[in-house]
Amino acid sequence: MSLTSILKSALCALLMASSLSVLAQKYPSKPITLICPFAAGGSADIMARFIAQKLSEAIGTPIVVDNKIGGGGGVGSNLVAKAKPDGYTLLLITGGYPAQAALSKNPPFDPIKDIAMVSTLTFYPFIVHVSANSPYKNLNELLAQTKNNPNKFNYASSGFGSIHHLSSELLNVMAGTDFVHIPTKGGNNALTELLGERVDLLIEAPTLSLPYIKAGKIKPLAVTSKERLKALPDVPSISEFLPGYEVKSFIGLGATGGTPNDIIKRLSLEMKKIIDDKDNYNRLAELGGDPQSSTPEEMRQFVENEYLKWQRVIDLRKIERQ
């Protein structure tokens, strides 16, 4: 490469850095889009609208939630990964994000590099549910029947490659069962299948299911964390039946990779303020979560660890990557 070419490249890089710096100083100057990669009405959508409202109030700019469903969340994530890195296209990141990425045979983007992590918002276990009319009083009774009748019992999930799907498959592996997967388009549809008694089992977030549990419309058999859920202290942990089983999901915020650090840091700081607010904290706890903010670096490391964990589960269960 000639000296002239090197100087031109250096000048372009300098101008780009300068323009990004100016962009960060003026941010935000127009409405922001928050992509929710799951269907409206589901647990992820509930959290997306919570973040949009609170963050909009904090930074004084409208934030519009746009549901882009498909591919276990991959469609929405890919849109953000390919968007302009200016902080005006954000991504609701759930526990399904590293799960879907691990299941992708030919991923269209790098899940660690092409999405900039901002902050976690809350962590929560899932709940193992059956219909209100189910004869099973505890998880052991259901597992015993499933073992005696292989491929006769099924479970719904929010879609192939979702964390709900992989959490259920992990149950199959550890319990030696053969629940058949019935994928749906979003957690709300999966819940409808359970309410209609068309499926036998559903592993879903308390964000979505707690109102139905309290109304007596569905029955909780276990939670997927090692500890019992504060909102359901009488419901045992799966680990009390299957030692070693543990799944905790999360909600967090991301942006397009390459978004200026000043913007990422500001958004991360605002997220921390949101969680530190007592009313917001209590609301997230009421939804069955454990509210926790993080630095962008902490969130990136956590997501990477989850990505590697689900890769191991997929290999163990011999699930075909798509």
Digit-coded pLDDT (tens) for 155-171 = 999 888 888 999 999 99
| pTM (whole model) above 0.85 | no
Highest mean pLDDT among 5-14, 168-177, 311-320: 168-177
- The confidence band for 4, taking pLDDT boundaries of 50, 70 and 90, is low
- The confidence band for 289, taking pLDDT boundaries of 50, 70 and 90, is confident
CA 26 to chain centre: 30
pLDDT at residue 12, as a whole number? 55
Q: What angle do CA 310, 167, 208 make, to 5 degrees?
A: 125
Q: What angle do CA 130, 136, 137 make, to 5 degrees?
A: 100
pLDDT at residue 160, as a whole number? 84
Q: Is the pLDDT of residue 2 over 90?
A: no
Report the pLDDT averaged over residues 50-77: 94
Find, among 116, 85, 112, the residue nearest to 101 by Cα.
112
Torsion of CA 181, 167, 230, 73, to 10 degrees: -90
pLDDT at residue 258, as a whole number? 98
Digit-coded pLDDT (tens) for 177-228 = 999 999 998 888 999 999 999 999 999 988 889 999 999 999 999 999 998 9
In the chain, the percentage of residues whose pLDDT exceeds 70 is 92
Domains by residue range for the chain, with CATH: 31-124+248-317 (3.40.190.150), 125-240 (3.40.190.10)
Its sign, for the CA torsion 291, 32, 89, 262, is negative
Find, among 271, 147, 130, 267, the residue nearest to 201 by Cα.
130
pLDDT at residue 159, as a whole number? 83
Strands (E), the chain: 32-36, 63-67, 89-94, 115-125, 127-131, 154-157, 180-183, 201-204, 218-223, 248-256, 290-291
pLDDT at residue 127, as a whole number? 96
- Give CA–CA dist 224/167, Å, rounded: 9
CB distance 24 to 262 below 8 Å? yes
DSSP state of 82: T
